Amino acid sequence: MFNQQQLESILYSLPDPVFILTRSGVYAAIFGGNDVRLYHDGSNLIGSSMFDVLNEEKASWFAGVIEMALQSGGLHIVEYELSGSDVKGAGDGPSHAIYFEGRVQSLSFEVNGEAAVIWVASNITDKNEIQQKLRQLSETDALTGLYNRRKLNETLDHRLTLFKRDNAQTSVLCFDVDNFKRLNDELGHQAGDTALVKIALLCRHYLRHGDVVARVGGDEFMVVMPDTHRGDALDIAERLRKRVRTTLKKALRYESTISVGVSEFVPSDRFATEVQERADEGLYQSKRNGRNRVSAL
């Protein structure tokens, strides 16, 4: 149907780049990549090895995918990212992470004496960004920007798995604003919203980067603290209690406090909800004992 020249013209006209890669990681041929909005000319890679172009870790990952495709003999689909730090040679790589979908298929013939694959790379950076934004919207509270209950539950399920497998402890803080209804009644709902936002900002600034802070109710918050035992969590909760009181008094010129409950995983826990329930019970124990305090269960 097509002569050799026409077939080559078709291949070179493809919008996405198509790589012929050997088992050892040599770029044997490159076709397509004509969508200049998304791709740079990669013809200079022909004859080079991935291990000469990419850092050891990234090149080894690509080599592993090639081997899996060769072993399976079928289509292998992967998603991956490339950034400047992945590419050897200053200035040769992208300044920010670019995300790709790779469709990898083994070839039925050898190339340069080696088994080889065809690797079609599609730039999915825009799609990835949209997915990330949608996921962020599904996991965050609109008012405070903190995580919501969905993300909290996912995190706790994961941490319980690590606790059961590796004995990696996690503590949970549960707290709410004392007499929050009275604050709303006396100062208005806007002041109540301001109090919640100020608490969220304080948590972001004061707690560790790896701690997961979620708003789980009107004025109720939970904090998941990985690699933290209950004793340390108690100290952190006590300091947070004092900081919240100072922050809200300064922001609202109103005396407002929080009550806190603290717990940690125990060997008998079967579900992550159990540690949440203990922390919640600790919160209500603080309420019963006069508010503006921390209790541990």
Specify whether 145 is located in the same domain as 271: yes
Specify whether 250 is located in the same domain as 268: yes
Where do we find the tokens 């780049």? 17
Specify whether 165 is located in the same domain as 277: yes
pLDDT value for 94: 56
Specify whether 125 is located in the same domain as 149: no
Put the strands of the sheet holding 116-123 in their side by side order: 27-32, 17-22, 116-123, 98-106, 76-82
Specify whether 89 is located in the same domain as 191: no
pLDDT value for 131: 77
pLDDT grade for 197, boundaries at 50, 70 and 90: very high
Domain ranges, residue 269: 140-296
Structural domain count of the chain: 2
Q: What is the CATH number of the domain that holds 188?
A: 3.30.70.270
Specify whether 217 is located in the same domain as 119: no
Q: What is the pLDDT of residues 88-134, one digit of tens each?
A: 864 555 567 889 999 999 999 999 999 999 999 999 988 878 877 77
Is 137 a residue whose pLDDT tops 90? no
DSSP assignment string, 250-291: HHHSS---EEEEEEE--TT--STHHHHHHHHHHHHHHHHTTS
Instruction: Report yes or no: 143 and 197 within 8 Å, Cβ to Cβ.
Output: yes
Cα separation, 122 vs 246, whole angstroms: 52
Specify whether 181 is located in the same domain as 229: yes
Q: What is the CATH number of the domain that holds 91?
A: 3.30.450.20
Q: What is the pLDDT of residues 229-280, one digit of tens each?
A: 999 999 999 999 999 999 999 999 999 999 999 999 999 999 999 999 999 9
